[in-house]
Amino acid sequence: MPAKQRILVLVHPDCVPPDTIDGLTDAQMEPFKTEFDVTATLRNLGHDARVLGVSGDFSRIRDAIDDQRPHVVFNLLEEFAGVGVYDAHVAAYLEAIRQPYTGCNPRGLMLAHNKAVSKMICRYHRIPVPRFHVYPLGPRKVQRPKHLPYPLFVKSLTEEGSVGISEASVVNNDEQLAERVRYIHRTVGTDAIAERYIDGRELYIGVLGNQRLDTLPVWEMDFTGLRDGAPRIATTKVKWDADYQKKIKLGTGPAKGLPAGVADQLPKLAKRAYRALQLSGYARMDFRLAPDGKAYLLEANPNPQLAYGEDFAESAHHAGLDYDALLTRILNLGKRYRLVGQV
């Protein structure tokens, strides 16, 4: 890649970063931290990085591309037109106009977004996943299938970022199950999925690549600060409330003391799932390690959080890939990804 690239950075309009963060508190920076970190780093590397806030109008993307003629689009959108799963349409549009872009392709995004479809594909490829059942929107009676014993973990079928997840998401009887499914339907507005709750260690594997894949070190979320009896899950509060994180001393870092063979097994499972779901660019694969030593893939997360100091960047740094090098690697992968129809 030449030293200087024209880069168009796509972000949500509410996340357009300021030119400087001098004098801002962490809380004030939170809404646009990722966008600022990425854009500022690209500019410090000498690139011509321009930011475009996009809500639901493809013509704005097309006009910006016609104006700047970017070598690559750095896609930081997590939704489009207010719908989380529509980020796949942005990637599809970029492919349709033959514009190189970073992150996952539209097919991988669509497969990974639907937690039931992704689990079925992984199960076909003999990648361990929790058993599950889907509860579509509508006035149907909520019943537990016989193959799913309690406790169960209820969440949105398609939303990410721990949306709609709290301690009440882990249910232990029919009444709690029905209430939580209706809660997801009512407040999140999507189908719900109930899967077997696995009480174990939460482990993450970062994956980088298109055809040739590299994995980052096994990372772990430490739940030891939670109150006794609380389910070990990444609730909305755990994931996004900085004050609460400090209170319970929530932390993530390199996984230590893994059972024999697990450190070698997880990267292989992560790569197999990445390929099975047709992902590209970069992703974080979320696993649960049960007390018996068996690892289950919970979710695949293409285009994960890229802020400096967050899990993905920290695990890359632990592997010897500093933040500048990580973003450069992601840019290169976007440039090298073969668009549909290319020879």
Whether residues 215 and 290 fall in one domain:
yes
State how far the Cα of 256 lies from the Cα of 219, in Å rounded to an integer: 9
Q: Helices 106-113 and 115-124: crossing angle, nearest 10°? A: 100
What string of DSSP letters covers 132-143? EEEE-SSS----
Pairing relationship of beta strands 170-171 and 219-222 according to DSSP bridges: unpaired
Confidence of residue 342 (pLDDT cuts 50, 70, 90): low
The one-letter amino acid at 8: L
Residue 220 pairs in a beta bridge with 203, 253
Chain-centre distance of CA 3, in angstroms?
A: 29
The predicted-structure confidence for 226-237, as pLDDT tens digits, reads as follows 777 777 787 766
Does some domain include residue 116? no
State how far the Cα of 179 lies from the Cα of 68, in Å rounded to an integer: 51
Please tell me the total count of domains within the chain. Answer: 3
Q: Which pair of structure tokens corresponds to residue 54? A: 């996009």
Query: CA 206, 209, 210 angle in degrees (round to 5)?
Result: 140
Last residue of a domain, one of 142, 162, 196: 196
Instruction: Give the CATH number, domain containing residue 244.
Output: 3.30.470.20
pTM of the model: 0.93
CB atoms within 10 A of CB 342: 8
Instruction: Determine the pLDDT at residue 248.
Output: 64
Does some domain include residue 57? yes
State how far the Cα of 74 lies from the Cα of 55, in Å rounded to an integer: 16
Confidence of residue 222 (pLDDT cuts 50, 70, 90): confident
Task: List, in order, residues 6 or more apart from 203 with CB less than 8 Å away.
Answer: 218, 219, 220, 255, 266, 286, 287, 288, 289, 295
Whether residues 220 and 277 fall in one domain:
yes
Whether residues 192 and 208 fall in one domain:
no
The predicted-structure confidence for 88-99, as pLDDT tens digits, reads as follows 999 999 999 999
Does some domain include residue 115? no
Last residue of a domain, one of 103, 123, 155: 103
Task: Starting at the earlier edge strand, list the strands of the sheet with 72-75.
Answer: 48-53, 6-11, 72-75
State how far the Cα of 81 lies from the Cα of 84, in Å rounded to an integer: 8
Domain of 291 in residue numbering reads as 199-320
Instruction: Determine the pLDDT at residue 254.
Output: 94
Instruction: Give the CATH number, domain containing residue 35.
Output: 3.40.50.20
Choice among 73-87, 108-122, 136-150, 243-257 with the minimum mean pLDDT: 243-257
Evaluate the omega torsion of the peptide bond into residue 151 and state whether it is cis, within 30 degrees of 0: yes
Does some domain include residue 164? yes
343 has pLDDT over 50? no
Whether residues 99 and 174 fall in one domain:
no
Q: What is the dihedral of CA 225, 226, 227, 228, to 10 degrees?
A: -90
Whether residues 253 and 159 fall in one domain:
no
